[in-house]
Amino acid sequence: MKSILRLSVAAATSLLVGVATLTPAFAEDITVRFGFAQVGVGNRQFGSGNSAAIAHAQGLVEAEFKDDPGVKIDWSFFKGAGPAVNEALANDQIDFALHGDLPAIVGRSNGLKTKIVAANGLRANIYLAVLPNSGIERIEDLKGRKIAQFRGTNLQLATDKVLAAHGLTERDVRFISMDFATATAALASGDIDGAFGQADYLGLEKQGVARVIYSTKGDDPAFTRHSHVHVTEKFEQAHPEVVARVVKVLVKAAAWASDESNRDAVFETWAKSGIPAETFRADYEGQALKLRNTPLIDDFLISAYRDQAERAKQYRLLRGEVSIDDWFEPKYVDRAIKELGLEGYWKRYDAHGVAEVAGR
Amino acid sequence: MTNLDLDRVAFEAAVAERYRLSGRRFGARAGAGVAKRAGTIAAALIFPASLFLVWQVASLFDLVPAQILPDPRLVLATFREFYDTGDLAFHARISLLRVLQGFALGAGAGLLLGIAMGLSRRVREFVEPLFLALAQVPALGWIPLVMLLVGIDEALKVIIIAKAALIPVTINTSRGILNVPRSYREVGEVLTFGRWQTLTRILAPASVPTVFTGIRYGLTNAWLALVAVELLASSEGLGYLMVWGRQLFQLDLVIMAMIVVGVIGFLLDWSLGLVERRLQRWEAAGS
Q: How confident is the model at residue A48 (pLDDT cuts 50, 70, 90)?
A: very high
Please give the mean pLDDT across all residues of chain B: 83
Distance (Å) from the alpha carbon of B64 to chain A's nearest alpha carbon: 10
Residue pair A231/A243 in contact by the 8 Å Cβ criterion:
yes
Tell me which chain A residues have a C-beta less than 8 angstroms from the C-beta of B243: 151, 177
CB-closest option in B233, B243, B249 to A86: B249
Cα separation of B229 and B141, whole Å? 11
Q: Is the pLDDT of residue A33 over 80?
A: yes
Chain A CA closest to residue B65: A90
Cα separation of A156 and A37, whole Å? 14
| Residue B31 placed within a domain | no
Q: What is the CATH number of the domain that holds B188?
A: 1.10.3720.10
ipTM at complex level: 0.72
B67/A174 touch (CB, cutoff 8 Å), yes or no: no
Tens of pLDDT, residue by residue over A8-24, are: 555 555 555 544 444 44
CB-closest option in B151, B235, B246 to A191: B151
Residues facing A127 on adjacent strands:
A197, A215
In chain B, what percentage of residues exceed pLDDT 90?
32
Distance (Å) from the alpha carbon of A151 to chain B's nearest alpha carbon: 6
Q: Helix B204-232 vs helix B87-119: angle between axes, to the nearest 10 degrees?
A: 140
Distance (Å) from the alpha carbon of B53 to chain A's nearest alpha carbon: 22
Cα dist from B7 to A6, B79, B193, B264, B284, whole Å:
88, 61, 12, 47, 18
Q: How many CB pairs under 8 A join A and B?
A: 58
Q: Is the pLDDT of residue A29 over 80?
A: yes
Q: B246: domain range?
A: 70-286
Domain count, chain B: 1
| Residue B128 placed within a domain | yes
| Residue B38 placed within a domain | no
The region that residue A35 occupies, defined by phi over 0 for left and psi between -120 and 50 for alpha, beta otherwise, is beta
**What is the fold of A127-223?**
D-Maltodextrin-Binding Protein; domain 2 (3.40.190)
Cα separation of A236 and A230, whole Å? 10
Distance (Å) from the alpha carbon of B235 to chain A's nearest alpha carbon: 5
Q: How confident is the model at residue A82 (pLDDT cuts 50, 70, 90)?
A: very high
Burial class (CB in 10 A: 0-12, 13-18, 19+), A66: exposed
State in words which class domain A30-122+226-339 has.
alpha beta
Q: Is the pLDDT of residue B99 over 50?
A: yes
CB-closest option in B148, B234, B248 to A176: B234
Q: Is the pLDDT of residue B243 over 50?
A: yes
Q: How confident is the model at residue A334 (pLDDT cuts 50, 70, 90)?
A: very high
Chain A CA closest to residue B231: A177
| Residue B177 placed within a domain | yes
Q: Which of B247, B253, B256 to mutate to test the interface with A (most CBs of A within 10 A)?
A: B247
Give residue ranges of B with CB < 8 Å to any A CB: 65-68, 147-148, 151-152, 233-235, 240, 243-244, 246-250
- Termini Cα distance of chain B: 18
* Mean pLDDT value of segment A99-107: 94
CB-closest option in A146, A152, A192 to B248: A152
Q: Which of B248, B250, B252, B256 to mutate to test the interface with A (most CBs of A within 10 A)?
A: B248
Q: Helix B72-85 vs helix B87-119: angle between axes, to the nearest 10 degrees?
A: 90
| Residue B60 placed within a domain | no
Residue pair B119/B177 in contact by the 8 Å Cβ criterion:
yes
Q: Is the pLDDT of residue B265 over 60?
A: yes
Domain positions in chain A are 30-122+226-339, 127-223
Q: How confident is the model at residue B229 (pLDDT cuts 50, 70, 90)?
A: confident
A191/B152 touch (CB, cutoff 8 Å), yes or no: yes
User: Residue B32's pLDDT is what?
Assistant: 60
Q: Among B18-32, B62-76, B110-124, whose mean pLDDT is lowest?
A: B18-32
Q: Which of A153, A170, A177, A317 to mutate to test the interface with B (most CBs of B within 10 A)?
A: A177
User: Residue A16's pLDDT is what?
Assistant: 52
Q: How confident is the model at residue B31 (pLDDT cuts 50, 70, 90)?
A: low
A111/B147 touch (CB, cutoff 8 Å), yes or no: no
Burial code of B98-137, b = ≥16 C-beta within 10 A, e = fewer? Answer: bbebbbebbbebbbebbbbbbbeeeebeebeeebeeeeee
Tell me which chain A residues have a C-beta less than 8 angstroms from the C-beta of B90: none
Tens of pLDDT, residue by residue over A258-285, are: 999 999 999 999 999 999 999 999 999 9
Q: How confident is the model at residue B67 (pLDDT cuts 50, 70, 90)?
A: confident
**Residue A322: Cβ within 10 Å count:** 20
User: Residue A360's pLDDT is what?
Assistant: 42
* Mean pLDDT value of segment A65-93: 93
B152/A176 touch (CB, cutoff 8 Å), yes or no: yes
Q: How confident is the model at residue A351 (pLDDT cuts 50, 70, 90)?
A: confident
* CATH topology agreement for domains A30-122+226-339 and A127-223: yes
A151/B234 touch (CB, cutoff 8 Å), yes or no: no
The pTM is what? 0.76
Residue pair A204/A210 in contact by the 8 Å Cβ criterion:
yes
User: Residue A117's pLDDT is what?
Assistant: 97
Q: How confident is the model at residue A27 (pLDDT cuts 50, 70, 90)?
A: low
Tell me which chain A residues have a C-beta less than 8 angstroms from the C-beta of B147: 191
| Residue B235 placed within a domain | yes
CA A107 to chain centre: 14
Distance (Å) from the alpha carbon of A237 to chain B's nearest alpha carbon: 19
Tell me which chain A residues have a C-beta less than 8 angstroms from the C-beta of B250: 110, 318-319
| Residue B18 placed within a domain | no
Q: Is the pLDDT of residue A213 over 50?
A: yes
B244/A192 touch (CB, cutoff 8 Å), yes or no: no
Please give the mean pLDDT across all residues of chain A: 89
